[in-house]
Amino acid sequence: MNKLIQIIILSLLQAVATSSTAHEAHVHGSATVLLAQDGNRLTLEFDSPLDNLLGFEHAPRTDKQKQAARALLDIMQKPDTLLKLNAEADCQLTTVKVVAPVLQAAAATASKDEHANLHAEYEYSCTKAAALKSLHLSLFDAFPAIHKVDAQMAGARGQVAATLTPKQRTLTW
Ligand SMILES: [Zn+2]
């Protein structure tokens, strides 16, 4: 195939993938978790509409909203209570990145968009990476507005995907 055509097709595919991910990412009641294992390193990405986590998606206005936003950003820094990897793998959290522009930007830069997301990325280093086999979501307790989580794991043994719910909280691979 002509190289230029290849490039065009690739960028088209990428555009489609990007827009469909962005689209799927914002359904109230739903969230996504993506896990990727590379040797002893594990990356976990969590995406959710802010509505699921706070009940609103605008910059916080009242004191109560500001407090709730701070508490949310705080709990997202310590994911251990929300997302539990099986203990046998002995994974230590090494990096945390939480992005929620609506909550983190200065109040003046209010978003024109009616919807807003929170994106969090966690990196773990696992001493016994071969023993890594499950992720349990306790976040259903912390965020009752989340009814389902599309979870995916990609590792050396392939890929698994499942829709997790308050009744089925564990992804195993
Ligand atoms: Zn929304």
What pLDDT shows up at residue 105? 77
What pLDDT shows up at residue 23? 46
State the distance from the centre of ligand 1 to the C-alpha of 34, rounded, in angstroms. Answer: 20
- Average pLDDT, 10 consecutive residues per value, the chain (173 residues): 56 47 73 97 98 95 96 96 97 97 71 84 97 96 98 92 98 96
What pLDDT shows up at residue 106? 64
State the distance from the centre of ligand 1 to the C-alpha of 101, rounded, in angstroms. Answer: 14
| Alpha helices by DSSP H, 48-133 | 50-54, 63-77, 101-104
With H, G, I as helix, E, B as strand and everything else as coil, classify residue 105.
Answer: coil
State the distance from the centre of ligand 1 to the C-alpha of 150, rounded, in angstroms. Answer: 17
> Please, what is the Cα angle at 64 between 121 and 112, to 5 degrees?
60
53/61 Cα distance (integer angstroms): 16
Q: Model-level pTM greater than 0.95?
A: no
State the distance from the centre of ligand 1 to the C-alpha of 15, rounded, in angstroms. Answer: 22
Q: Are 127 and 89 in contact (CB under 8 A)?
A: yes
98/46 Cα distance (integer angstroms): 9
What pLDDT shows up at residue 114? 82
What pLDDT shows up at residue 24? 54
What pLDDT shows up at residue 92? 97
State the distance from the centre of ligand 1 to the C-alpha of 107, rounded, in angstroms. Answer: 19
State the distance from the centre of ligand 1 to the C-alpha of 32, rounded, in angstroms. Answer: 14
Q: What is the CA radius of gyration of the chain?
A: 18
98-123 pLDDT, tens digit each:
999 999 876 545 556 689 999 999 99
State the distance from the centre of ligand 1 to the C-alpha of 145, rounded, in angstroms. Answer: 12
State the distance from the centre of ligand 1 to the C-alpha of 28, rounded, in angstroms. Answer: 6
State the distance from the centre of ligand 1 to the C-alpha of 38, rounded, in angstroms. Answer: 33
